[in-house]
Amino acid sequence: MRVLSGFQPSGRFHLGNYFGSILPNIEFQKSSDQSFFMVADLHSLTTLRDPDELRTYALDNVKDFLVCGFDPNHSVLFRQSAVAEHTELAWILSTLTPMGLMERAVSYKDKIERGIDANVGLFTYPILQAADIILYQAEKVPVGKDQKQHIEMARDIAGKFNNTYGDIFIIPEPIIKEDSAVVPGIDGQKMSKSYRNTIPLLGEDSEIKKAIMGIVTDSRDKDEAKDPDSCVIFQIHKLILSSDAAAVLSEEYKNGLPYGDAKKRLLSDYMDFILPLKAKKESISDKEAQDILTDGSKKASEVASGTMNAVRTAVGLM
């Protein structure tokens, strides 16, 4: 089974990324015959305009993946922009993709409603994403529920190509991980950079402290019983605890654990949780991260080149 996944280097990873994306993807790595993990820097250009930030985030995100358990000897970690076949295939697919399919993309409409500038790249994002996937003949694509429609679009686009030019592409299957952790942000919404409600995964101690101590709580009195099921502090805290420790802490909430004390407990346990990860990250140089990307991009290019030769022949460009 060949699996492809990716992430946009549009910011530093946060706790929601760790439980919702990084860990599930590393688990898929263990069960697949071959995995491709893509730093989707071309996609980031639809919203990120600072070139220095893009370079910094790309290497920083790669280091985070490595310290969390990604094995570059088993899987291919590569930079999207280093493989020219992505954009070539995206153009060819765009000549076949119906406008009506693109106009039904919910993600584009949601992003515009959130104030992101409308641009052609954002509108055609699903076509490039389809190219990203089928270029490697990926059979499985692990995604969150919010990306399900894009994978369905990729399937439609690949099917359209096959019906027109012959069976070149494998039709990918989405893997929707229903039990993926939905990590609440410090305001109670889903943790997201877009909502500015994140807890940095491996950020500076001061940044982490500010985020955790800023978690929104209700107006219950200091010693009043708290509901752990609706308390954002507990919902975040239990993610880094064993089931037994979480059960004990839950009872403390019900017995009136003050919110201030609860935040301090979370901060202490979180610092302990990330300490070994931060130590590992400090040992990885920019050069080491870049070398892994360069090596992975060469391996990705070999696969992409083979696919594109078949595509060019099929459409008459060779």
Which amino acids are annotated catalytic? 111, 190, 193
Q: What is the rounded distance in angstroms from the CA atom of residue 51 to the CA atom of residue 161?
A: 35
Residue 190, φ and ψ in degrees, nearest 5: -60, 135
> Which residue from 55, 64, 14 is spatially nearest to 281, judged by alpha carbons?
64
Per DSSP bridges, beta strands 140-143 and 173-176 are parallel
Q: What is the rounded distance in angstroms from the CA atom of residue 26 to the CA atom of residue 72?
A: 11
Residues forming a β-bridge with 257: none
DSSP-assigned letters across all residues of 58-105:
HHHHHHHHHHTT--TTTSEEEEGGG-THHHHHHHHHHTTS-HHHHHT-
Q: What is the rounded distance in angstroms from the CA atom of residue 233 to the CA atom of residue 238?
A: 9
